[in-house]
A and B are shown apart, each in its own frame.
Chain A
Amino acid sequence: MYIQSAYAVSPQGSFSELLESPAQYRGDRLTCKEPDYSKYIDSKLIRRMSRIIKMGAAAAMECLQQANVTMPDAITTGTAYGCLADTDQFLTRMVEFKEELLSPTAFIQSTHNTVGAQIALMLKCHHYNNTYVHRGSSFEAALTDAIGLIGEGEAQTALVGGVDEIIEKSHAILSRFDLYKKDGDTANLIGDPEKGTMAGEGAAFFLLNSNREAGCLAKLDAFQNWYKPKVPAATLVEDFLKRHEAPAGSIDLVITGANGDARYDGVYEALKQSVLNAIPAITYKQFCGEYPTSAAFALWMAAMIVSTGKVPGAAALAAPKRVLVFNNYKQLYPSLYLLSAC
């Protein structure tokens, strides 16, 4: 299975920017650099869309344009929080106006599947469309579905994405759980000895294809995710590589989801003592922040790395041909992605 194209709306403007001069953030969050939406979305549609819908739709459209595909056989989307801005607006009005005078737009667009549905509406795509809302494994569930559809011959191409946004209210609520540093700095985030990380957001879409088409970014060799596994991460990695006949020596680069929270980084440190100990490793959450579907950003970054041979923050590394991504959101939802150059 191949990643024919990919695009991410993220706190980084582009992969080139990520290589040359990654955007740096201070405080407790990273927010997306949004593209010129008029390039992707009709102006009559834009006015009704909240930010997450625009980010998701733009990422999906750019992804399809890069692949020169106008009609995917399936669309699967993963989001943990869904369309928070519309949900916030709708619920706030429910309270303020005593359940009367509710805006239909906010109601209609507050559902989690709005991004996937809006993409289908824009494409006039009546094919399979599903949205997964599974906390820290939402994107992984969407990817699992797409892989299944392609594997069973139900689809040749599948548009798969992960989207989540920060809004003021949700950020304030999550901050109460002591999740974020108050004075974080992405330049020094990873390895920081204090607790807390920096919040992030983003929308990343991929066009998976059962065939290797010209210009494809990467081959998705293997993927697996778990929920509260009983064995340590190092064992998961060893078993995963063994099952997919990918010896550690065949991997050129590891991308981990370490997020700078001293409470959680132990799991990633342990990997350095595992079969991966001799492999160069980088992190990605200093570029996009922490959020439940951040693995979609990591997968985009990994696909771009094997496609271009260039590694953000590690220019001296030889062009990696095979990359392993390991994320473990809140130490509950580990996931592994193995990619190789086309």
Chain B
Amino acid sequence: MENKQELIQRLKEQIIKQLKLEDKKPEDIGDHDPLFVEGLGLDSIDALELIVLLQQEYNIKLKNAEEGQDVFRSIDTMADYILEHSAS
């Protein structure tokens, strides 16, 4: 598994592609910026797209919907979740 910084960079690229954030570059997204409302300004449909992304790219299924609030807080929290669940 790649290290966390490499994973964060890859996640940013995947999110831009999956959510068609064509006016954004990976460097525009801060590791700790909130993904929803403020920050990237994502919405509930984007949350579903992120769930699909996790499953498709990392083979990780969220156990329950409430988990999403913590997991998708920022790129950093997503990366932590992926590292934790990839290792198990």
A interface vs B, CB < 8 Å? 43-44, 47-48, 97, 100-105, 108
Contacts and interface: CB of A to CB of B under 8 A. Distances in A.
Interface in B42-76: 45, 48-49, 52, 55-56
B23 A103 contact: no
A102 B20 CA distance: 16
A48 B55 contact: no
B71 to A, nearest CB: 17
A48 B21 contact: no
A44 B45 contact: no
A103 B41 contact: no
Given A97-B56, A101-B55, A47 B49 contact: no
Given A44-B41, A97-B56, A103 B21 contact: no
Contact of A105 (B21, B22, B41, B49): B49
A104 B49 contact: yes
A259 B56 CA distance: 46
Contacts of B49: 103-105
User: Which of A43, A97, A101 has the most CB atoms of chain B within a 10 A radius of its CB?
Assistant: A101
User: Which of A43, A44, A105 has the most CB atoms of chain B within a 10 A radius of its CB?
Assistant: A105
B45 A105 contact: yes
Given A97-B56, A104-B45, 5 more contacts: A47-B19, A100-B55, A102-B52, A103-B52, A105-B49
A47 B45 contact: no
Given A101-B52, A102-B52, A103-B52, A48 B45 contact: yes
